Every structure is written in C-alpha cells, then in structure tokens.
Amino acid sequence: MNKRTSKFLSYYRPYLGLLGMDLFCAFLISAITLILPLCVRYITDVLLPGGSAQPTVDLALIAALMLALVAVHALCNLYVDYQGHVMGALMERDMRRELFAHYQKLSFRFHDEQKTGQLMSRITNDLFALSELYHHGPEDIAIGILKFGGVLLITFGINPLLSLLIFLFLPPMVIYALHFNRKMYRAMSRSKQRIAEVNAQVEDSLSGIRVVQSFANEDLEQAKFDRSNRQFVESRRHEYINQAYFYGGMSAFTQLMTVVVVVFGAVAILQARLQISDLITFLLYVGILIEPIQRLVNFSRWFQEGFTGFARFMDLLALQPDIQDNADALELRQVKGALELQDVSFGYDSRFGDVLKGLSLRVGIGEYLALVGVSGVGKTTLSALIPRFYEVRGGRICLDGVDVRRLKLSSLRRHIGIVQQDVYLFGTTVADNIRYGKIDASPAEIEDAARSANAHDFIMALPDGYETDIGQRGIKLSTGQRQRISIARLFLKDPPLIILDEATSALDNESERAVQESLARLTRDRTTLVIAHRLSTIRNADRIVVLQGGGIVEGGTHDELIAHKGIYADLYQLQMEH
C-alpha cells in the first residue's frame, strides 16, 4: 500500500463503527434484494394453480416474509442514506480542518504566489467531492459486488447456459467503461482547475470592487470573468460528452442483456428446457443486475471526482513551510528587546537580485529607531525579516543576542507587535477585533486598550458600541479609526518590540494626531522600529537610519542628519517644500 492510499484510508479510522454498521446494512440490502425474486419464483412455481410442486409454505406466510424483508430493506436504506452521508461529512470536516491548519502554517512566500480563490476552491469543492467518495465508495462497492456475485450464483443455478450468455456481455462492458473512465478523469481534472480559476477571478474582482467602479471598468472585469467562465464551460463540455457516452453505452448494454434473456428464454421454454417461473426470475435478476452495475459506475464517477480532489489535497499537504521551527528551537522568556542585524542579505526572487545586501544594524533596548529611504529600498522587507515572515538569505538577525532562527516562531512573533499602513480588520465586532491581541481579554481590558489607543470615544458613538459589526476588512470605519483599533490590539498584546510600518502615512491631520498620541503611549519603554514616510513624524526619534541600494548610507539624529546635508536632508527639504 503506497503512502497516498494509506493516507486516504486513514480518515476512516475515527469512524470505523459507523463504517461497519454502514457495510452491515449494505449486506442486508443486497441479501434482501437477492431473496425477493426467489420468493416470487416460489409463488409462481409452487403456489399458483398448475404449480410444479406441492406447497410447503402458504401464500400468507410468504407474503408476510416479503413484507418484513421490504421493511428491513427500507430501514437499512434509511440508515445508509443518512448515517453514511453524516460519516462522509465528518470526514470532510476533518480534512478541511487539516488543510486549513496547513494553510495557516505555510509562509508568506507561498501565499504571495497563490490566488485566494483557488485555495478556497480546494478547501470547498474538492473536499465535498471527497466526502461523497468516502460515503458512497464502500457501500457502492459492497452492494455492487454482493448483488453481482449473488445474481451470478443464483442464475447459474437456474440455467447455466442463459447465465453464460448474460455474462458474456461483461468483458466488452468493462473495456468500454475503462476507456471512458480515463477520458472522464482527464476532463474532470481540467474542470476543477478551471472552476478554481473562476473563483480566483471572482475573489479578485469583488475584493477590488471599489477600484473597479472608481475607474468605471466593470466591462473589463466582466470580459475577464466571461473568458474564464467560457473556459470552464468548455472543460465541462468535454466532461459531459464523455459522461454521455459512458452512461449511454452502459444503458445500451443492460437493455441488450434484457432482450437476450427474453429471446433465448422464450426459445428454451418452447423446447421445454426452462419454466416460465425461471424466465420471470431471470428477468427480475437482470433488473437487479443493472443496479450493481450502476452502483459500480457511480463509484467510478465518485472515484474520479473524489480522487482528483484528493490528489490536489495531498499535493498541498506535501508542501512544507519555507520557515519552520528547528528541532531544538528555544522559547523566548523575559525579552529585553535588543535587536541586531549582522550582514543581512535578502531577495524575493533570485532573478531580480537582492533587496538587502550585507546590512548590519543594532537597535538598543528601548531605542526608538526610524528607517527612511525612497520606495523599494527594503524598509518593509527588513521589518518582515525580523518576525521571520521571510527567511534571510545571508547573515543573521538576533534578538537579545539569540539568532531568531533558533527561536520558536510562535514565541518570537508573540513578542513582536506590528502596525501597518494597510490595516486588516476581520468582518466581526469591534470587541472581537481588539480581543485578537489577547484572546482571553476581559471587557474591561478591551476598554482600557481602546482608551490607550484613543479609540474609546468613537467606539461608543457607534450604533452598538463595542459590539458593532464593522463589515469586511472594517469597511464601515474610517482609515484612522481602523488604525486605532489595530493599535488597541497591540496594547492588549503588550509586546516588548514594536514595528511601525508607515502607520500614519495615509491619515488626515486630525486622525494622524490621534494615532500619533496613541503610538507614543504604545512605544514608551519599548524597542521600536519605525518605517517612516512622513519625515516630520520622526524628528524626535532616538536615531534615524537611511537605506539606499540595499544597505545603510546614513545614520544619526534628525539634527545631525540635517547638518550633514546628505540624502536625509534632501528628502526632508523636499517634503517641507510640498
């Protein structure tokens, strides 16, 4: 058994009781289906006038037995239909949980290269098809094989020659089914890929709907969507044509078997080699034979759809995060906040060269240090390397003298607070968003954090105060309000190291003043790294470092750098003039 098959079967392990009962009911369904035609044969051959033998059981008893069998058959079908689907849904839940947890572990580099819509398709559409396979697979195989084998044994016992004629159809049916199964598999794989692209297009367009409408480019987005939608329909067309050939051919084979039974059975009756009751029984079993064939056909469809999704599921699980804890990773305790970068180099893609080249920098405990430079020099990149969102290509970064690669990721990131220009808030309440900084925070702690972030007054003015739903990404709030809620989160988190990534560059003067006041409280007595766009906001920084060409070209206080009349002085003068 290969690793992938073993993994596939492992999801049954927690539900072996459900699976066992499901298969037991499948056995009873098959057995009852096979017994009922024998009861009909007994009635026809023995109990009706002119029967060939003396009855040993009367009609009323046979009728009662058949009614009881039908009742048990119905109950078993009910169990298989309900509990079987529940089992599939539970397994789908387990797999979805595992995949979501894996998404959470994968690094920024992975998410930079993936489309959210495609990732969503894999965790929804693919796993739904898998749940159907997990449910229908075992019972369809069990019922199909039991009924097929039962029909084979019983019909051979009645008339071997007529049975042989029926089963001569099986080899061409198998060849036909395998041929179109392969075509269906390829078509379904393309369909899954195309629907993922449609999802990605929808997610991209709707996320940027304000940009779309502000540029009046609805027609452009519609054209892009129509193109991906047409490609999906084309892949579905290939899938459906193969399905039509598949199901149409299988139906033709079964109908042909019925005709063969009627014609050859009639000849055998005329030659006194077959009873009418046997022909009726044969026809009943041919009808039964169609059902296991259909089940096996259905299984092949579930298998094609489900295993295509499972292959994609396993491909994702096989991806290892670029950044992981070492086996001997250390837990951070009593962090002071001394930060040191030693000859650090980094680039996002080797084809475009390094963004940072041999950069060295020390930030003292409690120091307020500002990074400045034109766009693209690596300021934000540097801030992403410290919490290990990306891994340095060369050199090392140390926190309190320990290489951050020797620290547990969760421990490192718990001690770093980041405030970004583009604040992300979740589509829930104000309180829930602030509580994200400390999951078990009490309402009083949340309110204290909001007051410290200059957010309490505007929160209380909202329709439901702290319980106000702020919409997707906090769209119901202004930029300054969203920024202050993100700062309140950090007050709850209480990290010793703060990174401010152009946190006030997009704010109006009034909002900036409120945010600056809250940031002043937040950064007090903490090591702080500020990426500054407005140089006027960092005049009081303990030290200012200027980046250019992937390294540090200037450093000092505001007054020292102005007196130096270098790059910083030119940038500052340019901003003052505007």
Tokens of 307: 């295993």
Mean of pLDDT values over 20-45: 87
**pLDDT tens-digit readout, 477-488:** 888 888 888 888
Distance CA 209, CA 55 (A): 79
pLDDT at residue 354, as a whole number: 79
pLDDT digits (tens, 9 = 90+) for 525-567: 889 898 877 787 788 888 999 888 778 888 888 888 888 888 8
Q: What is the DSSP letter of 532?
A: -
Closest CA to 450 of 433, 468, 470: 433
**pLDDT class of 69 with cuts at 50, 70, 90:** very high
Whether the per-residue pLDDT at 74 is higher than 90: the answer is yes
- In sequence order, the 6+-apart residues with CB closer than 8 A to the CB of 306 are 129, 130, 132, 133, 134, 137
Say what the pLDDT of residue 508 is: 60
Give yes or no for a contact between 92 and 98, defined as CB atoms under 8 angstroms apart: no
Q: What is the pLDDT of residues 298-332, one digit of tens each?
A: 777 777 777 777 888 888 888 888 888 888 888 88
Tell me the pLDDT tens digit for each residue of 323-356. Answer: 888 888 888 888 888 999 999 998 887 666 778 8
Torsion of CA 224, 225, 228, 232, to 10 degrees: -160
The reported pLDDT for the residue numbered 291 is 76
Of 521, 542, 497, nearest to 336 by C-alpha is 497
Degrees to nearest 5, angle at CA 478 with 473 and 481: 90
- Span 358-376, mean pLDDT? 88
Which pLDDT belongs to residue 72?
A: 94
d(CA 487, CA 383): 17
pLDDT beyond 70 at 51: no
Q: Which residues contact 521 (CB under 8 A, 6 or more apart)?
A: 452, 491
**Contact criterion met (CB below 8 Å) for 151 and 287:** no
Report the pLDDT value the prediction gives residue 57, as an integer from 0 to 100: 64
At 439 the three-state DSSP class reads coil
Confidence at residue 507, expressed as pLDDT on a 0 to 100 scale: 60
Region 383-395 average pLDDT: 88
Q: Identify any residues that bridge with 345 across adjacent strands, giving them in sequence order.
A: 394
Backbone angles phi, psi at 173, to 5 degrees: -65, -40
Q: What is the mean pLDDT of residues 222-244?
A: 87
> What pLDDT sits at residue 24?
93
Give the number of other CB atoms < 10 A from CB of residue 490: 25
Q: Which two tokens stand for residue 202?
A: 């929808």
Q: Give me the residue label for tokens 């002043």.
A: 520
For 546, the token pair is 């200027």
Q: What's residue 68's pLDDT? A: 93
Q: Average pLDDT in the 456-482 region?
A: 87
- pLDDT at residue number 47: 60
In residues, how long is the chain? 578
Residue 207 has pLDDT above 80, yes or no: no
Strand partners, 346: 356
Q: How confident is the model at residue 250 (pLDDT cuts 50, 70, 90)?
A: confident
- Average pLDDT on 94-108 reads 87
For residues 258-265, give the mean pLDDT: 83
Q: What is the mean pLDDT of residues 398-407?
A: 90
First to last CA, the chain: 70
- Tokens at residue 461, please? 């003015």
pLDDT band at 240 (very low <50, low <70, confident <90, very high): confident
| More confident of the two residues 200 and 164 | 164
Write the pLDDT tens digit of every residue in 124-149.
Answer: 777 877 888 888 888 888 888 888 88
Mean pLDDT of 465-472: 87
Integer Cα distance of 352 and 138 in angstroms: 52
Q: What is the pTM of this model?
A: 0.71
Residue 543 phi/psi, 5-degree rounding, is -155, 145
Structural domains of the chain in order of their starting residue, each with its CATH number: 12-318 (1.20.1560.10), 339-577 (3.40.50.300)
What is the average per-residue pLDDT within 180-204? 79
- Model confidence at 75, pLDDT cuts 50, 70, 90, reads very high
Residue-wise pLDDT for 278-301, tens only, equals 888 888 888 787 778 777 777 777
Instruction: Provide the pLDDT for residue 215.
Output: 67
pLDDT band, residue 120 (cuts 50/70/90): confident
Decide if 340 contacts 365 (C-beta within 8 A): no
> What is the structure's pLDDT at 398?
93
Task: Give the whole-angstrom CA distance, residue 378 versus residue 39.
Answer: 83
70 pLDDT above the threshold of 90: yes
Nearest to 19 by CA among 119, 102, 191, 135: 135
Q: Output the pLDDT for position 578.
A: 63
